[in-house]
Structure 1
Amino acid sequence: MTSARRIFILLYTASGAAALVYEVVWTRLLTLQLGHTVAAASTVLAAFMGGLALGAWIAGSFDSPVDSRARAAAPLRAYATLEIVIAGSALLLPLVLRASVPALAWAYADGTAPARFGLVRVAISVVVLGVPAAAMGATFPIAAEWLTEAARLYAANTAGAAIGAVAAGFWLIPAIGLRATTWVGVALNGVAASGAFWLATRTPANTETAKTAEKFSVEDRTKNSLRSQRSRRSTRAAKSSGQSALEVKASPTIAWIAVAVSGFAALVYEVAWTRLLALVIGPTTYAFATMAAAFISGLAIGSAAATRIARRTSRPATWLAAMLLVSAVSAVAAAWFAATRMPLVIAQQVADPSVVFGRLVVSQAASVALLLLPMTVALGATFPFALAAASGPVSAEASVARMTSRVYAANTVGAITGALAAGFLLIPRIGLRATFEAAALAAAITGGVCLIVTIRSRETFRSRSGGARPAAASI
């Protein structure tokens, strides 16, 4: 990996940290205005995820420039511009939220118009979060188009997000407040934008010597040639070992369905865990930051591990199905322990006369992170495996940004559905325990179906290839 690519991954990590700094801050601001109910939290999450999905879909719809030199610099400039838009939106968000107070007061009407208040709350969340969330979502396919390593980018961004969630919830907001914490996020966006602009100036698109530009074009063609050779070798190896055509070529339908269900389950778990931790730990910023940091840390570990495995395996769809099954089992086990055993442990800690608040918070956060680790690692691994399953080994000619945006958008649409279903339907109607079980059941069924489909496809391919070999031998 060249130094420019390493620098860009670090920049994208900083962008992920800024995104979670904003999410913690904005969740705090919006719940102060919209309420601390599960429905309010679900509305905020759904609006945020909707913006991410829309931005990713729009960004993936644009084709790259044909000229290799322009293709090298254009994504970097677009990415830097988006980072500036995110920073500007973050500075304007408190002003827009303050201006919405009269509309909220009118809609609330002393509690006599709950339906109207709910609709206005959704509208305000979409307006306030739409632009920055869409810009955040658009950065991923654009960054992946330049780096051509979407899974590595996802892992780096998620690792930065985990750092941002921990820093914002446990240190920045308590120490310097919401406004100054927002400026920390703005500074991180500024670093990412400045670094991307700097990298753009160092690409062959901005050099005046034709020799450098020609060198870049040769390198670009060489990479494509190597990818094509690897694709042909992978296809031949798969055919010789009896791999299924579904896994050898691509499994976009399986990948989109599985990653959408993964996003659905993840957001149901996130909303439910936010509620559960508020009951066990307390409805504080620490509780939300604990949940967010625990979730995102596990996602980062899972995506990083899956990125390495996805490069070596010829069966990403099988791995994808297995991760859904693991996440379902571990989610139910973690929810059972948190509901039955964790309150007793926390009560014992609080009753200790020598307890120190800071140590107590850190201990609770570590306990929750370890409890959620198996589930979140499995959920984090689904995205890289979905990318590998959707693309297949012959995707070098396809648009990286378009394929990445489709998988990302499917995952985010599932997340939107999960956030809304958890806050407005599942938790109010069937309770927390049944909500965890329903999300786990959906993930388990999807994982089982995906596993059955891939196994049957492999058997079908083996039977066809077995019948074709004697015919070929007779000829």
Structure 2
Amino acid sequence: MRSRALGYSALFFLSGATGLVYELLWVRLLYQSFGSTIQSVTTVVAAYMGGLGLGAWLLGRRADRHPRPAALYGRLEIAIGVFGIVSPAVLGLARHAYVGAAAALGAGSLGSLALRFGLAALVLLVPTTLMGGTLPVLTRALTGTDRAALKRWLGRLYALNTLGAVVGAALAGFVLIEHVGIRVSLWVTAAVNVGLGAAAIALARPLQVLPTLPDPGRKPGEHGTRDALHTVALVLLGCTAFASLLDEIAWTRVLVMVVGGSTYAFTLVLVVFLLGIGLGSALVARRSTERAVTAASAGLAQGVTAAGAAGLFVFFSWLPLYILAVFQIDGLGPTARLLLMGLAVGAVVLVPALG
């Protein structure tokens, strides 16, 4: 079991890393196709979040009824890799469709923006839906029918996946785009996806076929009842997701004006944002408490997030002065300058992201 858990943990980490490499590369491709604007960042983030949610809902249900979820995960990774290879051509076709449709319809600025967003989001919804299915499918492969293992592992695996995303975002934003190039980076990342898929299929071969779970969240004979705490938790999760992504886009917008260079600003925010989420998940995963205590902890986390977000108004007032001071230091190389800017972003973003 230990070796299998280590193997699946590596898959979780690398899956998160490749997903964020794709996100940064596709942001850059949209810059080239539709212009370097905050709308390009927003389009990719919206498509990612929508696809991840849709994939988790659709493919998570399928995983509960699949006899070999590890093999299903492998096929998902291979499909993601295939799309990664053809994504420049597909986004190029979307650009040509946008130009033709905008000219034929005589779309104004608002109609043009909606058309760009719709076409790009439609294209990116395909791979992101596949990515969204990887976490629940691989979780099912690791925990099987053991509900206790599911509760114990879910937070840890989510943290591991998110910390892998931190590595992928930093690698793409600071190394691959600048020094390797977009197309080669896409090919290498696609090869990693295919390798992950092949490894997962190989891991699935000696395993026993899992029984179908009609309702994996409950014990046999247990009826589905929702109390007020359950409903409040769902509403809170939705509101938290909405506010978190709103904060991410707003922070990126501010840092673009202060730091300059949309890719670097987006990467800095994304790395710190994901690092906070991953560390927060890892801390929570260590605790196993009653529902009421967990609900109180969630309320405390919301308070920390709100306090950190409110403190941003103070930090943003002195951030331009700090950036100017960094650029006026003689003999400071680009890497050291980037690290100093990253420290400033970390001071601004990490606390609310942890919450």
Correspondence for 1:169 among 158, 173, 185: 173
2:69 maps to 1:79: no
CA distance in 1 between partners of 2:182 and 2:56 (Å): 28
2:64 aligned counterpart, secondary structure: coil
Alignment of 1:46-85 (within 5 A): 46-62=46-62, 64-65=64-65, 71=67, 74-85=68-79
2:110 maps to 1:115: yes
Q: Which moved more, 1:185-194 or 1:174-183?
A: 185-194
2:129 maps to 1:159: no
CA displacement at 1:341 relative to structure 2: 0.7
CA distance in 1 between partners of 2:194 and 2:314 (Å): 43
Match of 1:306 in 2: 284
Tell me which amino acid in the other structure corresponds to 2:337. L
Match of 2:147 in 1: none
Tell me which amino acid in the other structure corresponds to 2:244. A
2:112 aligned counterpart, secondary structure: helix
Match of 1:357 in 2: 334
Alignment of 1:210-221 (within 5 A): none
Match of 2:10 in 1: 10
Conserved? CA contact 2:252–2:265, under 8 Å: yes
2:5 maps to 1:28: no
TM-score normalised to the size of structure 2?
0.87
CA displacement at 1:163 relative to structure 2: 0.5
CA displacement at 1:23 relative to structure 2: 0.4
1:409-433 superposed Cα distances (whole Å, 9 cap, x missing partner): xxxxxxxxxxxxxxxxxxxxxxxxx
List structure 1 runs of 4+ shifted beyond 6 angstroms.
none
CA distance in 2 between partners of 1:13 and 1:200 (Å): 18
CA displacement at 1:351 relative to structure 2: 1.7
1:277-325 superposed Cα distances (whole Å, 9 cap, x missing partner): 101110332211111111111111111111112x245521111111111
CA displacement at 1:3 relative to structure 2: 1.2
Alignment of 1:413-428 (within 5 A): none
Conserved? CA contact 2:83–2:127, under 8 Å: yes
Q: Which moved more, 1:265-274 or 1:178-187?
A: 178-187
2:331 aligned counterpart, secondary structure: coil
Conserved? CA contact 1:13–1:156, under 8 Å: yes
Structure 2 vs 1, CA of residues 112 and 122 (structure 1 numbering), >3 Å: closer, same or farther? closer
List gaps (5 residues or longer) in structure 1. 206-215, 218-223, 229-244, 379-475
Match of 2:93 in 1: 99
CA displacement at 1:346 relative to structure 2: 0.9
Conserved? CA contact 2:38–2:253, under 8 Å: yes
CA distance in 2 between partners of 1:250 and 1:88 (Å): 44
Structure 2 vs 1, CA of residues 32 and 63 (structure 1 numbering), >3 Å: closer, same or farther? closer
CA displacement at 1:140 relative to structure 2: 1.6
Conserved? CA contact 1:56–1:140, under 8 Å: yes
CA displacement at 1:355 relative to structure 2: 2.5
Number of equivalences = 334
**Rg (Cα) greater in structure:** 1
Match of 1:139 in 2: 134
Structure 2 vs 1, CA of residues 342 and 115 (structure 1 numbering), >3 Å: closer, same or farther? closer
Alignment of 1:463-474 (within 5 A): none
Conserved? CA contact 1:52–1:133, under 8 Å: yes
CA distance in 1 between partners of 2:314 and 2:100 (Å): 42
CA displacement at 1:268 relative to structure 2: 0.5
Correspondence for 2:119 among 116, 124, 128: 124
Alignment of 1:70-469 (within 5 A): 71=67, 74-109=68-103, 113-147=108-142, 148=150, 149-205=153-209, 251-309=229-287, 311-314=288-291, 315-337=293-315, 339-378=316-355
Structure 2 vs 1, CA of residues 37 and 115 (structure 1 numbering), >3 Å: closer, same or farther? same
CA displacement at 1:255 relative to structure 2: 1.9
Conserved? CA contact 1:277–1:287, under 8 Å: yes
CA distance in 2 between partners of 1:255 and 1:316 (Å): 10
By percentage of residues, which structure has more helix?
A: 1
TM-score normalised to the size of structure 1?
0.66
CA distance in 2 between partners of 1:40 and 1:175 (Å): 22
Tell me which amino acid in the other structure corresponds to 1:306. V
Conserved? CA contact 2:91–2:120, under 8 Å: no
